[in-house]
C-alpha cells in the first residue's frame, strides 16, 4: 500500500446511507453460499512469496527479480486450472514492470466483476502483509472458483498490479490502456491491499464519494462479516489500486486491516489487539515477513473475498442438487475408512463435472489416499499419498462421472498410507 494516511469514516454515514437507500428490489433467486477459503492454502502461498523474496535479495519490488518470480508463481497456479492469463508490460524508473490478469472462462463479458491487489513489495523487505496477503487471498479465491467449477452470470477477472509502491503505476497503466469499450465492460472493481495486519482492524472501503454503484459493494463486503466481527468504514482515498478504476467511473470497494495508523482504545476493545500501537508496525520495513501476520484476520478477510464473489457474480442456486454427510468419522493410522452419501431423486447419470468437497482434519495430509467410489464400485482417485505436505485437507475436486448412475450410495474412501498420523473426516459433499 502506498504512503498516505487512512481516514476512518463516521459510522453515521453508514446509517444515513441505509436510511436514504431506495426500496429493495424484488428478491433474486437464492445465491449459492460461498465455500470456506482454507487458511492453510493462503498461508502456503505466503510461504512461497517469502521464499521467493529470500532467494532474490530479500524483496519482491518493482524491477527486481523477486517481483517477476512472484508473478510467475501466481500465473502458473492460474494457468494450471484453466484461467486465461495475460502479462502486461510497462516501464517505470528505467525498469520493466508487469501486471498480471486472469480471466475465468464464461460469464457475460459486458458485465465483468474484477478483483485485484498489488503484488510488489517495497525494496526494504519481502512485503508479506503489504501486499502478499491480498495477493494470496485473491489467488486462493480464484483457485476455489476453478475447483468449484463456478459458472457465474458475470464474467470474472482477477488482477495483480506492479509498482503500486512507487505510485500506483501498474493499475494506472492498466486502466489507461483499456479501450473505452473494454473499460465500460468492467462494472465493479474490488481491491484487497493488506488483509492480515498483525494488530488488525476490520475496515471496509466507504462508498462515500465513489462512483454510483459503490454502495452495493460496500454493503456486500460488510455483510460478509455479519455475526463474525464488527467492521468500520474507511476512506482509503487515492492510496491503493482502486483509485484508477474510480477515476474511470467504475464502482469500487475493498477491504483493509490497517497499516501505519495507530489502533485506538475503542478499536482495541472491539477487535482485540493493542491500543496505541500501529495496525502494522512493520509497514514498509524489512520485518514485514512471514511472521508479520494475524492469521485470524487473514482467514476472515479471505472468506469475505469469496463471499463477495459468490454474492456479486450472479452465481444463483445451481441447477443440480447438493448431498452432504457431516458426520465425523475417525481416520486411524495406516487404515482405510469409508463415509457414505446416498443420492436420490437425480435423473439420469452424474455430471461430467461432479464436484466433490472434502473437509478432513489430519496431522499430515501427505499420507492420505482419497477416492470417490460410485454406487457400482467404480473408484475415482482424488488424491494420492505423497502428493503434498502439511496438515488437513480442505478442498474440492471435479470428477467426470458421466458414465455413472447418479442415484445410489456414493462413498468417500480415505486411506492413511503412512505411519504416525491420524485424522477425522469432518464432512464431505457431492454437488450435481
Tell me which residues are annotated as active site: 164
- Taking the CA atoms of residue 357, residue 363, residue 366 and residue 368 in that order, the dihedral angle to the nearest 10 degrees is -50
Asked if residue 175 lies in contact with residue 116, where contact means CB atoms within 8 angstroms, the answer is no
Asked if residue 188 lies in contact with residue 113, where contact means CB atoms within 8 angstroms, the answer is yes
Q: How far is Cα 269 from Cα 278, in angstroms, rounded to an integer?
A: 15
Q: How far is Cα 360 from Cα 414, in angstroms, rounded to an integer?
A: 9
Distance in angstroms between the alpha carbons of the first and the last residue of the chain: 42
CB burial string 167-202: b at 16+ within 10 A, e below: ebbbbbbbbeebeeeeeebbbbbbbbbbbbbbbbbb
Sequence-ordered strand ranges (E) for 38-153: 84-92, 95-104, 108-118
CB burial string 344-379: b at 16+ within 10 A, e below: eebeeebbebbbbbbbbbbebbbbbbbbbbbbeeee
Listed in sequence order, the residues at least 6 apart from 42 whose beta carbon sits closer than 8 Å to its beta carbon are 133, 136, 137, 140, 298, 299, 302
316: alpha, beta or left? (left if phi > 0; alpha if psi -120 to 50): left
CA distance to 15, 237, 360, per residue, from 169 (Å): 35, 16, 43
Cell for 327? Answer: 458426520
Cell for 431? Answer: 454437488
Amino acid at each position: 500500500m502506498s504512503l498516505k494516511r487512512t481516514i476512518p469514516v463516521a459510522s453515521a454515514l453508514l446509517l444515513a446511507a441505509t436510511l436514504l437507500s431506495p426500496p429493495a428490489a424484488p428478491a433474486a433467486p437464492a445465491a449459492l453460499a460461498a465455500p470456506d477459503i482454507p487458511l492453510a492454502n493462503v498461508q502456503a502461498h505466503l510461504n512461497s512469496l517469502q521464499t521467493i523474496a529470500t532467494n532474490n535479495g530479500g524483496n519482491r519490488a518493482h524491477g527486481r527479480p523477486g517481483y517477476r518470480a512472484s508473478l510467475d508463481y501466481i500465473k502458473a497456479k492460474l494457468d494450471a486450472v484453466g484461467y486465461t492469463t495475460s502479462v502486461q508490460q510497462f516501464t517505470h524508473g528505467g525498469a520493466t514492470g508487469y501486471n498480471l490478469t486472469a480471466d475465468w472462462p464464461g460469464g457475460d463479458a459486458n458485465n465483468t466483476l474484477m478483483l485485484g491487489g498489488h503484488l510488489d513489495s517495497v525494496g526494504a523487505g519481502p512485503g508479506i502483509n503489504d501486499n502478499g496477503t491480498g495477493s494470496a487471498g485473491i489467488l486462493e479465491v480464484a483457485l476455489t472458483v476453478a475447483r468449484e467449477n463456478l459458472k457465474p452470470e458475470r464474467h470474472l477477472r482477477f488482477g495483480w498490479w506492479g509498482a503500486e509502491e512507487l505510485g500506483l503505476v501498474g493499475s494506472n497503466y492498466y486502466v489507461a490502456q483499456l479501450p473505452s469499450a473494454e473499460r465500460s465492460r468492467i462494472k465493479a472493481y474490488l481491491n484487497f491491499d493488506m488483509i492480515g495486519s498483525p494488530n488488525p482492524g476490520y475496515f471496509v472501503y466507504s462508498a462515500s464519494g465513489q462512483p454510483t454503484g459503490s454502495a452495493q459493494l460496500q454493503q456486500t463486503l460488510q455483510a460478509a462479516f455479519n455475526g463474525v466481527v464488527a467492521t468500520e468504514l474507511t476512506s482509503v482515498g487515492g492510496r491503493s489500486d482502486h483509485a484508477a478504476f474510480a477515476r474511470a467511473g467504475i464502482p469500487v470497494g475493498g477491504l483493509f486491516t490497517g497499516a501505519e495508523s495507530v489502533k485506538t482504545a475503542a478499536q482495541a476493545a472491539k477487535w482485540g489487539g493493542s491500543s496505541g500501537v500501529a495496525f502494522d508496525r512493520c509497514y514498509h520495513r524489512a520485518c514485514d515477513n512471514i511472521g508479520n501476520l494475524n492469521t485470524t484476520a487473514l482467514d476472515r478477510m479471505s472468506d469475505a473475498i469469496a463471499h463477495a464473489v459468490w454474492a456479486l457474480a450472479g452465481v444463483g442456486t445451481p441447477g443440480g442438487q447438493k448431498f452432504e454427510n457431516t458426520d465425523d468419522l475417525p481416520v486411524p493410522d495406516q487404515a482405510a475408512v469409508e463415509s457414505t452419501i446416498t443420492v436420490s431423486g437425480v435423473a439420469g447419470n452424474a455430471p461430467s463435472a461432479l464436484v466433490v468437497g472434502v473437509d478432513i482434519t489430519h496431522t499430515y495430509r501427505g499420507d492420505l489416499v482419497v477416492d470417490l467410489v460410485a454406487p457400482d464400485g467404480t473408484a475415482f482417485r482424488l488424491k494420492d499419498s505423497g502428493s503434498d505436505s502439511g496438515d488437513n485437507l480442505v478442498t474440492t475436486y471435479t470428477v467426470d462421472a458421466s458414465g455413472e448412475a447418479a442415484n445410489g450410495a456414493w462413498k468417500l474412501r480415505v486411506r492413511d498410507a503412512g505411519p504416525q498420523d491420524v485424522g477425522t473426516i469432518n464432512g464431505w459433499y457431492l454437488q450435481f
